[in-house]
Amino acid sequence: MAHKLAIFNMKGGVGKSATATNLAAGITKFTKKAKVLLVDIDPQGTSGASLGIPIWELETQLKDIFKSQSIEEKESLLEASILSTPQGVDVLPSNIFLAVEEISISGLPGRENLLAKAIAPIEDSYDYIIIDCPPNIGVFSINALKASDSVLVPVDMSYVGLLGVRGVEYAFDLVTNFLDHEINILGVLATRYDGRKIISRDVLKSLSEHFGDLLFNTTIPETVKISEAPSYGTSIFEHDPKGAGAKAYRALMKEVMKRW
């Protein structure tokens, strides 16, 4: 049975997709024989595109699995939708057409459990399943949270990023209280950190005081190389293997593995 981890924050621009892709790539690269599936339930399709998936040429994708009627059809579409990448990560991609179908998908029976049911047939085929959520608390994020065993929360080092933590905690309470699914926070990750800036140091201190041991020791630095890597369709480990970003994401990968 795979470990299933959602990468979630209601605020955009926090390094959510970068964390999902580089964590998936890091586990594949540095953990022997580990099989990793990256599920991109964010209609922006950033995670898939970041690993070289041509998201505008998809013949099948997540929305098709959600809308299929029979178990046999779902499993067939699932097999057709999962794509392999040069990094060794399998990706279940999506693109903007997932958002186009959001209203109709939101009206389906058991809509909050669509992802859990979709990936159930392949859970035993993977060691780790990482789910990149959209930056909101809509039907797709709820699906990701319900399908996951635990959640990683990236927070960027800004005042607005710190304010967003309260919204994340409120979203978790909603899922716990109204959908009867307890949220297990694996850890909170400080992203876009620049130790030269007072705001970065202040936000990191506030996160430490608020979350205690839930805050990862690793911080992800603000670097151009992390931002560049997706444009080359690869992870930070291939794009800048000796840089600060690669070192940080490898350290994060080790922390995540220990907490699992």
Residue 181 confidence (pLDDT) above 90: no
State percent of the chain over pLDDT 90: 83
Residue 109 confidence class, pLDDT cut points 50, 70, 90: confident
List domains and CATH numbers for the chain. Answer: 3-259 (3.40.50.300)
pLDDT of 260 reads: 85
- Tens digits of residue pLDDT in 9-43: 999 999 999 999 999 999 999 997 899 999 999 99
Q: Which two tokens stand for residue 56?
A: 């505008």
Distance CA 50, CA 15 (A): 12
DSSP letter, residue 193: E
pLDDT digits (tens, 9 = 90+) for 78-105: 999 999 999 999 999 999 999 998 888 8
Chain mean position to CA 236: 16
pLDDT one-digit tens code per residue, 136-175? 989 999 999 999 999 999 999 999 988 889 889 988 998 8
Q: In the 8-state DSSP scheme, what is residue 194?
A: -
- Kindly report the pTM of this predicted structure: 0.95
Pairing type for strands 90-92 and 83-84 reads antiparallel
pLDDT at 108: 82
Phi, psi (rounded to 5 degrees) for 158: -140, 160
Contact by Cβ (8 Å): 16, 192: no
Strand (E) or helix (H) holding 118: helix 114-119
